[in-house]
Amino acid sequence: MKQESSASPKVDNQLDAVVVGAGFSGLYALYRLRDCVGLNVRVYEAGGGVGGTWYWNRYPGARCDVPSYSYSYSFSEELDQEWRWSEKCAPQPEIEQYLNHVTDRFDLRRNIRFNTRVISATYDEASRVWTIGTHDSGTDEHLRVQARFFIFAAGLLSTGNIPQYKGLDTFKGETYFTGAWPHEKVNFSGRRVGIIGTGSTGIQVIPVVAQEAAHLTVFQRTPNYSIPARNAPTDPRTEQEIKARRTIRRSGGRNGSLRLAFRTTGLRSRPWRSRRKSAGASTSGPGRRAVSDSLLTASRIS
């Protein structure tokens, strides 16, 4: 972890729990610990908003590669009934909007510190307390908090892997990394674009950039297997059936509740994963992009 500055950081009030990351898992952890258990919780998020993967990965074509209803929370009947996905596989802006809706609906934002990284953590065996150092990038302020519980909800995609290609630092064109895409629109009109990687990200971004760029070259190391997403607008009848089944599962007792909790936080049993793999399902989508982030370079055609 990054070292704290030599200046003594301010000491904040003692907490029951600290959560790192305000994505799907971090938001759910905050809700459960604060509203269901009654703990004093604080979430630290390096980004400027909620969403985790869906805050950073906003490249053209980004969307989930599983049905939207399988990519949403199921702990609240009211939330489930009031939200309607527009497409079978929702695009990034809609998923980010959904997570902001959840955050505001359950008043989670007041317990989140944005633009703040956890830079150190020490556990004291005698007192059974974590001492956690943080850095606010906006104010350049260092704080130190103490908590009984320290929960990582940063996921597998919190640190991007930018390849160190020779000459990348002297390239005169523009370089973009899909895992940290700009919030403003990137214009590829009249550009010669190179995309490195045809993993899950590349599969999504290539056809969208190709429609705009004057010339596109794709650099591929290993071909990936993918099937069509067959995306389409949400069917009202299918939506009604899915919500009805989830309502029944919520009232299915303790075991059903545990299964829903695991799905909410993104954890899946090994048999589920094996069945999906054997079915030849597409692996495109930010949820499985640990080694397949794409690098884009763009330059104007002379």
What pLDDT does residue 15 have? 93
Q: Decide if 116 contacts 136 (C-beta within 8 A).
A: yes
What pLDDT does residue 293 have? 52
What pLDDT does residue 296 have? 67
What pLDDT does residue 192 have? 96
The stretches in the chain having pLDDT less than 50 are 2-6, 253-292, 301-302
> Closest Cα partner for 178 from 280, 21, 54, 301?
54
The domain spans of the chain are 10-152
What pLDDT does residue 224 have? 85
pLDDT tens digits, 122-166: 999 999 999 999 999 999 999 999 999 999 999 887 777 788 889
Q: What are phi and psi of 193, to 5 degrees?
A: -120, 135
10-152 topology per CATH: FAD/NAD(P)-binding domain (3.50.50)
pLDDT tens digits, 31-61: 999 999 999 999 999 999 999 999 999 999 9
Please list, residue by residue across 188-201, b when 16 or more beta carbons sit within 10 angstroms of its beta carbon and e when fewer do: beebbbbbbbbbbb
What pLDDT does residue 116 have? 97
